[in-house]
Amino acid sequence: MRRSIATVCLSGTLEDKLEAAAAAGFDEIELFEPDLIASALSPEQVRDRADDLGLTIGLYQPFRDFEAVPEPRENLRRAEHKFAVMERLGADLLLVCSNVSAAAQDDDELAAAQLRTLAERAAEHGIRIAYEALAWGRHVSDYEHAWRIVDAADHPNLGTCLDSFHILSRGSDPATIRDIPGDKIFYLQLADAPELVMDVLQWSRHYRCFPGQGGFDLAAFVQHVLATGYAGPLSLEVFNDVFRQADPQRMAIDAMRSLLLLEEAAGVAPLPPAAPLSGYAFVELAVSPDAAAPVERLLIAMGFRHAGQHRTKPVQLWRHGDTRILVNHDGEEHPRVAAIAVESEDPIRSAGRAQHLLAPLLPRERGPGEAELSAIAAPDGTSVFFCRTDADGWLTDFLTAGPPGGGISSDVTGIDHVALSQPFDFFDEAVLFYRSVLGLDLQPPGERATTEGLVRSRDAHNADSSVRFSLTVPVVGDNGSERQHIALASDDVLTAAAAMRDRGVPLRAVHDNYYDDLLARTDLEPETVERMRGLNVRYDDGLLHVYTELVGPGLFFEIVERGLSRA
């Protein structure tokens, strides 16, 4: 099926939008009228630019407040102006939204008659009309109602346009879409939205998102539409405050990724399925050699040992049993998570899926005899590797520098999760990326207060929770600070924290007031709470955990014990 995107989804000038849509692989666009009005390009120039880029102008939109008015003359005059513009654009489908004005009458016969007249006029220009119910239309706010009017008007140049937001936001049953003949559905607009309870107009204008980023079941919705025989494009029409200011090229790729996932979910077009994952092969930190000492001291104090040196690159392998952290000295002053490697049952398939989902494949310099690892770039700049440590031999790229660590304690059993703060403009993109490329299950959004403001989080994990990500973003704007942490798993965080404290790991202080409150609000044993107090260990919903102090401005470690039975 053809893939389309409305220009209102993207920021920038109309040229920027067209270029971004074409670069992301869209076949056509919906031209949002204000984008044309603001453009320096004439309609003919827009047509030529779209042609050059291989884009069709599939829909011109919106034409408002047309039908069911006492005196249609002025509206028909207005329509003739738009038909003229559309002819210059080479666009042959006009979206008419249900009337929201006070002049609109609650009269379906009048609406049908006037829409029929409009379709007749349109036909003279080779133009067709797609009539859509806005969720906040004055008298027509429901897709079935809009279809009844279209059916009554009965003109070959008049059909309906279905918009998932307008239908699902009202809680309408999309199953009766199947009763509409597919050839009378002239266009299909798709948008997701987070589950908010708010005025539907505000919800629509500000908080729509791409499929898979919100709470609607769009796969089922699309299946209902396809069951009618609809063969037109799948088109994204998303109004979102953040998307409107973000880089249009990135947004267009994010949009295409969401559409590919929706096509997979709806059975329209398959993707290489995600290969099962079974934990982390390694996490790689990057830091300049000058600034590496604090990171290395912390690793040593946490029980890691410098176990290997890469044959050709300035990369150290640190181990704590089978928990591996790489320290890449080709980094900057502030240490950060540069790469995450997951164990994949089929790294080639994982990388193939990622590429189909438009993840940029990272070029890799490889020395003679070194293992080939597939790596992609996540939206936040983190590299993601797909490995099979037992089979692909990447470990042999490292020359042994010492015995594996962990001899002094077995308190760390692996990597529990990696938490990465995201740039404000690209949070939804990052969530969709990690989830789709790695095939993770998304958890409901969370929110917590910090002294710097509210922070939103989305967690995602694979089937057996051996790979977990936690993505965070400030709720209001970007505060410019990057926070990343690596959470190490432990079977006994109190013992681990005590051992680390004794080895000089700086643990982030938790204040007495916290433990006094813990005694009040939980039935943890007082002696457990006293042990936690002495070790700066926190308790949250069955999870015991402790944080190290920051190493650099934005990086720290956490030790996590899950499934606590003490409480």
Catalog residues that contact a second copy under the rule CB under 8 A. Answer: 11-13, 16, 33-34, 36-43, 77-78, 81-82, 85, 196-199, 202, 206, 241-242, 244-245, 424, 449, 451-454, 474-479, 509, 511-514, 516-517, 519-521
Q: How far is the CB of 44 from a second copy (least distance, A)?
A: 11
Nearer to a second copy, 64 or 306 (CB): 64
Q: Is 216 exposed, middle or buried (0-12, 13-18, 19+ CB in 10 A)?
A: buried
Q: How far is the CB of 9 from a second copy (least distance, A)?
A: 12
Q: Return all residues near 218 (Cβ < 8 A) that are at least 6 apart.
A: 164, 190, 192, 211, 212, 262, 265, 266
Q: Minimal CA–CA distance to 63: which of 46, 40, 50, 81?
A: 81
Instruction: Compute the distance between CA of residue 395 and CA of residue 89 in angstroms, rounded to an integer.
Output: 58
Contact 365, 411 (CB under 8 A): no
Q: Return all residues near 261 (Cβ < 8 A) that are at least 6 apart.
A: 211, 212, 271, 357, 432, 436
Q: How far is the CB of 247 from a second copy (least distance, A)?
A: 12
Q: How far is the CB of 379 from a second copy (least distance, A)?
A: 17
Q: How far is the CB of 192 from a second copy (least distance, A)?
A: 18
Q: How far is the CB of 449 from a second copy (least distance, A)?
A: 7
Q: Return all residues near 482 (Cβ < 8 A) that are at least 6 apart.
A: 336, 421, 553, 554
Instruction: Compute the distance between CA of residue 301 and CA of residue 373 in angstroms, rounded to an integer.
Output: 30
Instruction: Compute the distance between CA of residue 433 and CA of residue 446 in angstroms, rounded to an integer.
Output: 18
> Dihedral sign, CA of 193, 197, 201, 202?
negative
Nearer to a second copy, 183 or 241 (CB): 241
Nearer to a second copy, 200 or 265 (CB): 200
- Packing angle of the helix pair 108-124, 143-153 (nearest 10 deg): 60
Q: How far is the CB of 194 from a second copy (least distance, A)?
A: 11
Nearer to a second copy, 166 or 461 (CB): 166
Instruction: Compute the distance between CA of residue 318 and CA of residue 305 in angstroms, rounded to an integer.
Output: 5
Contact 56, 27 (CB under 8 A): yes
CB atoms within 10 A of CB 527: 8
Nearer to a second copy, 64 or 349 (CB): 64
Q: How far is the CB of 38 from a second copy (least distance, A)?
A: 7
Q: How far is the CB of 503 from a second copy (least distance, A)?
A: 25
Residue 116 C-beta-side C-alpha neighbours within 13 Å: 13
Nearer to a second copy, 82 or 224 (CB): 82
Looking at the DSSP assignment, which residues form a beta bridge with residue 448? 455
Looking at the DSSP assignment, which residues form a beta bridge with residue 399? 309
